[in-house]
Amino acid sequence: MTSPRDHLPELSTEEKASLTSGKDFWTLKPIDRIGLPSIMVTDGPHGLRKQAAESDHLGLSESVPATCFPPASGLGSAFDPELAERVGAALGVESAIEDVAVILGPGINIKRSPLCGRNFEYVSEDPIVAGSIGAGLVKGIQSQGVGSSLKHFAANNQEFERMTASSDVDPRPLREIYLRGFERVVKDAQPWTVMCSYNKINGVYASQDPWLLTQVLRDEWGFEGLVVSDWGAVNDRVAALVAGLDLEMPGGDGAPDRAVATAAASDPAVAAALDVSAGRVLDLVGRAQARPAVAGPLDVDAHHALAREVAGRSIVLLKNDAVDGAPLLPLAEDASIALIGEFARTPRFQGGGSSHINPTRVDSALDALTAAAGDRVDFAPGFAFDAAAEQDALRDEAVALAASRDVAVVFLGLTDAEESEGFDREHIDLAAHQLALLDAVVAANPRTVVVLSNGSVVALPFADRVPAIVEAWLLGQAGGSATVDVLLGAVNPSGRLAETIPQRIEDTPAFGNFPGSNGHVRYGEGIFVGYRWYDARDMAVTYPFGHGLSYTSFAYGAVSAEVTESGDIAVTVPVTNTGSRDGREVVQVYVAPVASAVERASRELKAFASVAIAAGSTTEVALTVRREDLAYWDIRVDRFVVEGGAYRVEAAASSRDLRGSVTVEVAGDAVLVPLTPESTLTAVLAHPVAGPMVAGAFAALQEQFGGEGDGIMSGEAMAKMMGSFPIGRLPAFGWGLDRDGVDQLLAAANAPQG
């Protein structure tokens, strides 16, 4: 049986070029004479957005009904790749039913700043979490014979000038933070496609960067699929083709195809690149054709139930203090409840922009709580989304209700106008009228629960004044019911923060370097992104990365760790559910070298597991820290390097709730750094070849100038001073090494070894 690729030699240059751009917004071009069909790609990533009418990228046309699962800001807080894989499989099923070949997602860009307008669509501030959840989604989607599109590659961390700005990132943070999650997904799950981002990286558009799209993605990571542009991301189509971008979306007036065909006719390099890219498009079509036919209709109820389960797992219980001797949550079975806040009646369950889903149904917290608690519940909107509305009257009504009930549950959050694709937030504060409402409610009834609806973190100036806070994110179409499940105790919360909640925007790592100016944004915080920044500075935060409470309690036993034959670190820790409810604990493993030759974070998350543990039971939790994740990017040799020595391995319930620690010895990678005249004497002495050649002369100099008696300075001080001397400058001081000697030394050091 022939495959589409078999027809590649038959195609004309013009036909090959036609394959490398879309037919329209969502479909690829067919070639009828060889029987090549058009296939469809469409938006994700937390639900299928297949437009039912005329295509448009902005979503002005209504899309077909589909299940809206929790966006990545919620799903990431579940800290469970297997749960993500189940969501991915459901997305794959819905895509297959609608004959969609590729669903555009997941998005795993790092949450560099809480101000990024698209943070609701991204997983975490940590690359291991983002990469692990992303890999789960990709595996699930592709298990159904549907392709995924890993996005946005790379360093796409803001909406301001997103189509033109240059993300100026040094090599270490680029590799260790912004590319590491993409690397994990590519190596673990092989997405069918990778979508390049709009922005430039260090001055080069991602769409035409051969270093990014070919050297890193394909040559280093082994990516086997197709690279597609974000919609409208291509600046120079021919340069992009040669760089490794296979498919430009959307389709246009044909000018890009003509430019490619013309260049290919006169330039063998372009012709060769065109053959490669056309072949990859044919392979994608072949993969789509290989999917077995899927019969509908969609099992709406089953997918809604999954969305509810996932939403419940995504909720983070931030605070749950005792009131009158018992935690305020879950709500008492006989409590009268004042349900306050327009978000409880009109839920904001997804972000705005290209990922906006037309849900099969939507649950509100008001309906769900009324159904569960009946006449124990009364509702007051408390505020209106329209800022011009009469907020004072709505607040007074809500305060009166709160004063007359046992407990007040207040829903606060961000509206679409405050948080969406296309623009960044200007601050992290909730609206003033919402905060005023909460102050008045708490004054009337101290037994107040706050429920948050937001895609990215908000400041919580009331954190020390209310007994219970629930971070409910944007939870998809079943979020209202799932939130009530948690409030009433039907679900024991197990979500954890995948991003730090800071006290002030001024405390955040990117403050002062976001969103940049004059077409450039400098990633001046380097590797210190998210919790790495706060922990390294011992800076106060409202709630730390990895934090989340439960209605039960967990105790950790002694941590054990050993280095395996493969170089990974196998970590085990017994965890006991010491409470009276079944629950889940997210066990987190943080690792750091005890001593390092380079600047490192205080600790970095390297493994995690969400573990169900019955009340009174103990589970031996086993986790694996991959050796490759211990490495830092060594700018001297342009590769990842694992330092040898002692590593501290910590089992924790958050980056600041450390439950146990053990130290292991890790063998280091051999690194032979090329020496130059600018290499310091310290570097020369450490070199296995050059070091012994100069050690004697250096010792003599120390004795001559740094003796304990009449020397210029002590031997130790002399060693520090001379250690910083470039070897090429020593001849000027007449210290026993002339310029010929330096040249001979460098030649010997840099000669091929063995």
Token duo for residue 708:
């304990």
Both 655 and 690 in one domain: the answer is: no
Whether residue 545 contacts residue 531, with contact meaning beta carbons closer than 8 Å, is answered with yes
Please pick, among 230, 246, 257, 485, the residue that the annotation labels catalytic. Answer: 230
Query: Which pLDDT score, from 0 to 100, does residue 704 have?
Result: 59
DSSP code per residue over 586-637: EEEEEEEESS-SS---S-EEEEEEEEEE-TT-EEEEEEEE-GGGG-EEETTT
Which residue, of 290, 316, 346, is where some domain finishes?
A: 290
In a domain, 238, yes or no: yes
Both 455 and 585 in one domain: the answer is: no
Cβ-based neighbours of 432, under 8 Å, separated by 6 or more: none
In a domain, 392, yes or no: yes
Query: Which pLDDT score, from 0 to 100, does residue 715 have?
Result: 58
> What's the one-letter identity of residue 558?
A
Query: Which pLDDT score, from 0 to 100, does residue 727 have?
Result: 85
Distance CA 242, CA 273 (A): 6
Whether residue 598 contacts residue 668, with contact meaning beta carbons closer than 8 Å, is answered with no
Tally DSSP H helices, then E strands, for the chain. 21, 27
Distance CA 310, CA 672 (A): 49
Residue-wise burial string across 359-375, b where 16 or more C-beta atoms lie within 10 A, e elsewhere? bbebbbbbbbbbebbee
In a domain, 510, yes or no: no
Whether residue 474 contacts residue 455, with contact meaning beta carbons closer than 8 Å, is answered with yes
Q: What is the pTM of this model?
A: 0.95
Whether residue 124 contacts residue 496, with contact meaning beta carbons closer than 8 Å, is answered with no
What's the residue count for the chain? 754
SS3 call for 142: helix
In a domain, 613, yes or no: yes
Both 719 and 639 in one domain: the answer is: no
Both 232 and 160 in one domain: the answer is: yes
Distance CA 737, CA 742 (A): 7
Whether residue 314 contacts residue 75, with contact meaning beta carbons closer than 8 Å, is answered with yes
Both 639 and 727 in one domain: the answer is: no
Both 134 and 178 in one domain: the answer is: yes
Distance CA 601, CA 139 (A): 31
Token duo for residue 327:
């935690």
Neighbours of 715 (CB within 10 A): 15
Both 163 and 274 in one domain: the answer is: yes
Give per-10-residue mean pLDDT for the chain (754 aa): 91 97 96 96 94 59 90 98 98 97 98 96 98 98 98 96 96 98 98 98 98 98 98 96 97 91 97 98 97 88 98 98 95 97 96 88 98 97 88 96 98 94 94 96 98 97 98 98 98 98 98 95 98 97 98 98 97 98 98 96 98 98 98 96 98 98 96 89 85 73 56 59 80 76 86 76
Distance CA 444, CA 398 (A): 10
> What's the one-letter identity of residue 290?
A
Structural domain tally of the chain?
A: 4
Distance CA 708, CA 279 (A): 73
Both 248 and 271 in one domain: the answer is: yes
Both 31 and 168 in one domain: the answer is: yes
In a domain, 114, yes or no: yes
Annotated catalytic residue 301: no
Distance CA 547, CA 393 (A): 37
Which residue, of 626, 643, 666, is where some domain finishes?
A: 666
Looking at the DSSP bridge assignments, the partners of residue 340 are 380, 410
Q: How far is CA 625 from CA 167, 178, 711, in A?
A: 30, 19, 50
In a domain, 606, yes or no: yes
φ, ψ of residue 170 in degrees (nearest 5): -70, 160
Range of the domain at 432: 300-497
Both 662 and 688 in one domain: the answer is: no
Both 741 and 629 in one domain: the answer is: no
In a domain, 524, yes or no: no
Looking at the DSSP bridge assignments, the partners of residue 361 are none
Domain of 431, CATH number, reads: 3.40.50.1700
Locus of tokens 């250690």: 723
Domain of 24, CATH number, reads: 3.20.20.300
Both 567 and 611 in one domain: the answer is: yes
In a domain, 696, yes or no: yes
Name the region of 481 (left: φ>0; alpha: ψ -120 to 50; beta: rest): alpha
Neighbours of 520 (CB within 10 A): 14
Which residue, of 290, 308, 323, is where some domain finishes?
A: 290
Token duo for residue 579:
């409470």
